[in-house]
Chain A
């Protein structure tokens, strides 16, 4: 791979010596659109926030540098950074508004389109910067004014821009930043639960992306010597920016470059051959047909497909990140022995009389439904507390209130002696309160190890160290042999253990487990009970929602029973099993078989 990159670079550096000036022009466009695509890829691909307004950043960058050069005589070599900074400011504003208010998918698309259009209309109406006619730059051929008589200089500048953006993307991809972006793209709520400050990282991605795109504006202005609001801020340019990375493979390092190498020459050649003879638009029809074809036949993009073909040919199994250490045992027991006393009864490690989590008067209403009403709940240090109740009793709502996914209408939650009401989920996770989701939410396109690593990054910001920690956790939850498998292909039992492992990797003080046994068969339940006991024995307090009576009776020190949002009973498993209200509300004859004899 490394040699392939060096060879490709050498060829690209030497190429202008033998190319015709028309071919040089095509390569300049390939590099330039590759650059813009790569810049877009950081927010649109890696972070999965589809911006269709990136032309605005090109426009702001280009206009700024051009105006500074025309009016103040400032060299574009400096002006380009001023323009990029302004573009980044615009990106920060759009990003803040969009992300702060939780706009996703098509809503974010439209917000970006709307901002770009507002910029376009505004610029068209400001006569001081050329109005609808735009700006023209007088050609002087002065390199200090970013003007060159030899087209090959533009070739090298465009190449350098593309390489710089790719290096930026490469650096991001390998660090916590990039891993977090991928997690946000896959499932933002799950990422938040693992300590990822989604707002912060999406903002960062937007700022980096708009800064780079703004740099591109200066190149555009001083390569074409004219700036028209309709072309520089228009939706068609935004579309040109996004289609190459999507065609090549959004969120991959080489996708935008590959996409540009495929699409740019095709666009140029079809313009050359089909655009002749007064047939306006024929080449764009071909272009449109090409886009449709790519979507239908290469739905994940060209680069992922190419990579798979190459890997199949060289018969190397897919490896993400550094390879296994040598002599790594392939056969592993399904569940590694856990520290402590795996068979210990709950009483063997008594909880301290010191609450780790206290909720007082917790209430939450959904429309006409009082989901949780005035709930008091305390989890002691080292305690395993069961939370049970019939379907719809409000158990998951309680979890959402405790972990910051919902804010209570009334009441307070304090965790380790500080109030956590109003804190976002990621902050609560970092304080040491982790949760799992009842309906498991793995990051489906990441491997098992990568999933767990997202959790580990909450405590170990270095990607490599987090990886090592994640590997320990993966081992501990018995997924060691499956660590490179894509999470989307796991069985339900494995997903439940992955969910547990991911939360565990955040090294919590208190773990909230939401029905981790639901849907599992008896053997799998045995496995997960052993696992939970082991986690508890290592010093983690646990709050457990569970419908499996046998398990919850056997595991819990104490049990709290909810019905219609209210606590109807609290006590030891034996108390609960004999509590008339509980029997009435919920247990029925079930407890006869479930209660420990």
Chain B
């Protein structure tokens, strides 16, 4: 085994992990606040990708700028989905919420299919081809920028949740919905904002990877499943868990591709998931609940 290859895998995985983290932060926020699992998470992300594709091809805006627009658009979509659909089943049994989100996922995925067709796409960015050699390994500039932006966004989101009034209100509602209601919180508004912010995370994440990862409508499903893995591994509802979990899963997949073969890379993250589920079901950073 070539050491350089392993180092390269480690580095690429780590840098790509920023996007995984951002994606998982969005999912964990939605789950933490509403106890609703967003099965359409990956499909929302694919819409973020296609949006940045449209902005790049029609308006010539680089994805590393347009991610702000994509985040805003997905915020609106998340808000709509929450207000129009999720809000109505917030007290319904678990399986009904899952069914609803599966329905949303189907609609989003196939709208993308009708609109953009089944062929894999990728956005061209001037950053895409640039690399930087660090001794024996190279750094993909696109990945580096993606990593930095994704981590900055995650940090910004944490600051929003811990340092602003609205953020504190969101955390209060997540901790105890009833208590928040009693002290006069507009919980519906909190839910809508949380879902919007969660979706905005994948909007940004989608735009950021649109020049790295070739995508097509069915990509959403595997992105959803990866987000679920990360969130469980990191700990449901934990922002730090989502951040670290994202990096961990990405590195594990990247090394899996090096040591095994690329088509087996997901095997590593699923095995990791099963080990976590069995021995530490609350996740690496989750609170232990009996």
- A residues in contact (CB < 8 Å) with B: 44, 50, 52, 97-98, 101-103, 105-107, 109-111, 113-115, 117-118, 121-122, 124-125, 132, 235-236, 239, 242-243, 246-247, 250, 279-282, 284-285, 287-292, 294-296, 299
Among residues of A, the one whose C-beta sits closest to the C-beta of B114 is A281
Q: Is the interface of B mostly helix, strand, loop or mixed?
A: helix
B90-105 vs A: 1/0 string, CB under 8 Å?
0010111111101111
B267 CB–A CB distance under 8 Å: yes
Q: How many A-B residue pairs have CB under 8 A?
A: 132
B172 CB–A CB distance under 8 Å: no
Give complex CA distance A320, B89 in Å. Answer: 28
B129 CB–A CB distance under 8 Å: no
A97-B274 contact in complex given A121-B264, A294-B99, A296-B85, C-beta closer than 8 Å: yes
Give complex CA distance A431, B95 in Å. Answer: 36
B281 and A50 form a contact (CB under 8 A): no
A109 neighbours in B (Cβ, 8 Å): 37, 98
B277 and A111 form a contact (CB under 8 A): yes
B105 and A288 form a contact (CB under 8 A): yes
Q: Which of A106, A115, A121, A279 has most chain B Cβ within 10 Å?
A: A106
A282 neighbours in B (Cβ, 8 Å): 110, 114
B94 and A288 form a contact (CB under 8 A): no
Give complex CA distance A257, B99 in Å. Answer: 18
B interface residues, how many (CB within 8 angstroms): 47
A50 and B107 form a contact (CB under 8 A): no
Q: Which of A111, A290, A291 has most chain B Cβ within 10 Å?
A: A291
B112 neighbours in A (Cβ, 8 Å): 281
- B residues in contact (CB < 8 Å) with A: 31, 37, 85, 88-89, 92, 94-100, 102-107, 109-114, 117-118, 217, 221, 225, 228-229, 232, 236, 261, 263-264, 266-267, 270-271, 273-274, 277-279, 281
Pick from B88, B109, B111: contact of A296, CB under 8 Å? B88
Give complex CA distance A44, B98 in Å. Answer: 13
Give complex CA distance A287, B102 in Å. Answer: 11
B267 and A107 form a contact (CB under 8 A): no
Give complex CA distance A103, B274 in Å. Answer: 11
A117-B266 contact in complex given A284-B106, A285-B106, A285-B111, C-beta closer than 8 Å: yes
B274 and A295 form a contact (CB under 8 A): no
Give complex CA distance A239, B99 in Å. Answer: 9
Give complex CA distance A339, B232 in Å. Answer: 55
Give complex CA distance A482, B270 in Å. Answer: 50
B98 and A292 form a contact (CB under 8 A): no
Give complex CA distance A485, B80 in Å. Answer: 39
A288 neighbours in B (Cβ, 8 Å): 102-107, 110
Min CB distance A242 to B, Å, is: 8
A291-B99 contact in complex given A110-B232, A125-B264, C-beta closer than 8 Å: yes
A296-B110 contact in complex given A103-B281, A243-B102, A289-B103, C-beta closer than 8 Å: no
Min CB distance A317 to B, Å, is: 26
Give complex CA distance A559, B261 in Å. Answer: 69
B114 and A121 form a contact (CB under 8 A): no
Min CB distance A270 to B, Å, is: 11
A295-B96 contact in complex given A111-B274, A289-B103, C-beta closer than 8 Å: yes
Give complex CA distance A292, B31 in Å. Answer: 20
A114 and B270 form a contact (CB under 8 A): yes
B118 neighbours in A (Cβ, 8 Å): 280
B277 and A117 form a contact (CB under 8 A): no
A113 neighbours in B (Cβ, 8 Å): 225, 228
Give complex CA distance A102, B289 in Å. Answer: 11
B278 and A105 form a contact (CB under 8 A): no
B92 and A110 form a contact (CB under 8 A): no
A107 and B277 form a contact (CB under 8 A): yes
Among residues of B, the one whose C-beta sits closest to the C-beta of A106 is B37
Q: Which of B37, B95, B271, B277 has most chain A Cβ within 10 Å?
A: B95
- Other contacts beyond A106-B31, A118-B271, A292-B103: 6, CB < 8 A: A117-B225, A122-B267, A235-B225, A280-B117, A289-B107, A291-B103
